[in-house]
């Protein structure tokens, strides 16, 4: 593995790559895999990372955040639906309890009437 510097003639910027050589069996000649490290600052001579990795990570993070927000919205919607169902079932239970009490009261009146 080695470090390779390449100057872009149009922009005048010198880019720095990490290069790994390998033998291409099909073409019977050496080839290289290069990975961009950054560019050289002309004033200091230091390598400045280009930030492509940061952009990629940021995009992945944004995609993940979007998925999480969508899931949260979906779960909130489901919870609201469940709450609505629970409220309607509670109302139905209260109605049935009132009907039951009315029937029991009526039965007591009938029993009391025939036992006199």
> Does residue 90 fall inside a structural domain?
no
Q: Which residues span the domain enclosing 7? A: 1-49
Domain count, the chain: 1
pLDDT at 101 over 90: yes
Q: Where are the alpha helices (DSSP H) in 8-51?
A: none
Let me know the angle formed at the C-alpha of 43 by 38 and 47, rounded to the nearest 5 degrees: 20
- Encode burial over 42-51: b for 16+ CB neighbours within 10 A, e otherwise: eeeeebeeee
> Does residue 40 fall inside a structural domain?
yes
pLDDT tens for each residue of 60-75: 667 788 888 888 889 9
> Does residue 79 fall inside a structural domain?
no
> Does residue 33 fall inside a structural domain?
yes
DSSP letter, residue 13: P
> Does residue 65 fall inside a structural domain?
no
> Does residue 105 fall inside a structural domain?
no
pLDDT of residue 56: 60
pLDDT at 102 over 90: yes
**pTM for the full predicted model:** 0.42
> Does residue 8 fall inside a structural domain?
yes
> Does residue 114 fall inside a structural domain?
no
pLDDT of residue 51: 67
* Over residues 31-58, mean pLDDT: 79
């Amino acid at each position: 593995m080695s470090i390779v510097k390449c100057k872009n003639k149009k922009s005048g910027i010198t880019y720095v790559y990490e290069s790994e050589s390998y033998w291409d069996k099909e073409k019977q000649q050496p080839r290289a895999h290069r990975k961009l490290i950054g560019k050289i600052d002309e004033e200091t001579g230091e390598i400045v990372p280009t930030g492509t990795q940061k952009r990629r990570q940021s995009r992945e993070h944004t995609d993940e955040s979007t998925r999480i927000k969508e899931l949260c919205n979906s779960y909130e919607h489901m919870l609201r639906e469940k709450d609505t169902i629970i409220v309607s079932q509670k109302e139905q239970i209260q109605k049935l309890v009132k009907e039951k009490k009315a029937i029991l009261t009526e039965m007591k009146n009938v029993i009391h009437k025939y036992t006199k």
